[in-house]
Amino acid sequence: MEKKIIIMGGGPGGYVAAIRAAQLGAKVTLIEKEALGGTCLNKGCIPTKALYRNAELVNNLKASEDFGILVDNFTLEVNKIQERKNGIVHQLVSGVEQLMKANNIEVRKGHGVLYSCEENIKKVKITLDDGREEIVEGDNIIIATGSHTFIPPIQGVNNEGVITSDDIINFKEIPKSLVIIGGGVIGMEFGAIFNSFGTKVTIVEALPSILNMVDGEIVKRLNPMLRKKDIEVHTGAMVKSIEKHEDKLLVNVEGKKGEFTLEGEKVLIATGRKPNIQGLNLEEVNIEYDKKGIKTEDNYETSVKGIYAIGDVNGKWMLAHAASHQGVEVAERIMGIDNQGSTLIPNCIFIFPEIASLGATEEQLKAEGINYKTSKFLFGANGKALALGEGEGLIKVISDEDNKIIGVHILGPHASDLIHEGVVIMNKEVKVEDIKHMVHAHPTLSEAFYEAVLALNNEAIHAVPSRRK
């Protein structure tokens, strides 16, 4: 008997789940009220990485003299930057649309709400773009409605010039100054981009540290790099209010040493995202949720049998690749394939230099009382990094008492690519002794990972021997 699956949301969780379910023979209806691809493709991951590439090229031009290339001056054409970014997004959205057609997935444009969740037949009511309503039926439902920007209750947050990440990607002018409220991934990435564009960037973070989810040593080494780039960071600081004063915004902050005021042409609210759970009719169909998102079991099934929640809406990992992975896992489980999935989710932060991490941090291991070893290798001792002109940063690895790698943390060139060596090794539970016999090509950045692993046993060739016993 053919399975009928309804998927609510066409982002990286929903559309990937739809394709995998269709591949396995399911009849799939996907409901999306906006463009396919979700926040990631339309307002997040992809447009920001397009802008990041612009910023990267600007940084290269600024450093061109070091390579014997003299550039007298250059200008940034915002219209061209936006055209390129929008073109990339359009190309990828069109690609997803074609994949829906190629896999015979029915796409319904509109807003869906849970209507009836009986044991055998589950129903979703769709309000279509033209105002008509219709009801679709299925054996299973996958909720993949994503998340939205969180706006904190700060006095003056509605002033003109106070913007969110949804707004800033469509900038028409490069601001002379930008105050960013929030030192998490979103705030730091936009800070890096606009700093490269010539904007004076100031970041305000309420927690004791920026990027609080990242290994502490990585952040400690990042901070002087930010100061060198003239990015001002205030941690342990709470924004009390925002005032409009002529053509400037005044951000009133209470910090460790008292109150102070920051000035910016624009203020970016980058205080995180919240799951899209409103308007889904969750209460009426008895699906449990809280402010963190829809509650699920380890298999992503909700409190109602046969209904699953994946991606940002379940609040576990607000990362596009986590949503896609969960989508495949759930689609296969519905179709009778036992897929245990993986909880090893890499996290990549696109600043200068890049940060990528996987697995345990030192702080987590200390808090849990787990014995471990750490080692690191500096990119300043790596030939490829120096040839690239990107010798800042390091690769840090953590192993347990059995010499199994349990954490990889990278600050440096192409960290978002290098982390995947750690992904393979940690998923396969490879030990240091096994990695030692894996030949790494020279000269490559990957050699830094190899040397960092060897250093766990004090066997790194291109590093000063550790004094530890």
CA–CA gap between residue 169 and residue 394 (Å, rounded): 30
Q: What are the start-end ranges of the H helices in 345-445? A: 362-368, 383-388, 415-427, 432-436
CA–CA gap between residue 149 and residue 295 (Å, rounded): 20
Q: Which residues are annotated as a binding site for NAD(+)?
A: 182-189, 205, 272
User: Choosing from 90, 245, 409, 442, which is the catalytic residue?
Assistant: 442
Q: Which long-range contacts (CB under 8 A, 24 or more apart) does 116-125 make?
A: 116/285, 117/141, 117/285, 117/286, 117/287, 117/304, 117/306, 117/307, 119/305, 119/306, 122/6, 122/306, 122/307, 124/6, 124/8, 124/31
CA–CA gap between residue 56 and residue 59 (Å, rounded): 5
Q: Report residue 354: phi and psi, to 5°.
A: -65, 155
Measured in whole angstroms, the distance separating CA 148 from the mean position of its chain's CA atoms is: 14
- Catalytic, 420? Answer no
Report strand pairing: 140-143 vs 4-8. parallel
Report strand pairing: 140-143 vs 133-138. unpaired
Q: Which residues are annotated as a binding site for FAD?
A: 49, 112, 145-147, 312, 318-321
CA–CA gap between residue 284 and residue 123 (Å, rounded): 13
Q: Report residue 106: phi and psi, to 5°.
A: -80, 120
Point out the residues that are catalytic. Answer: 442
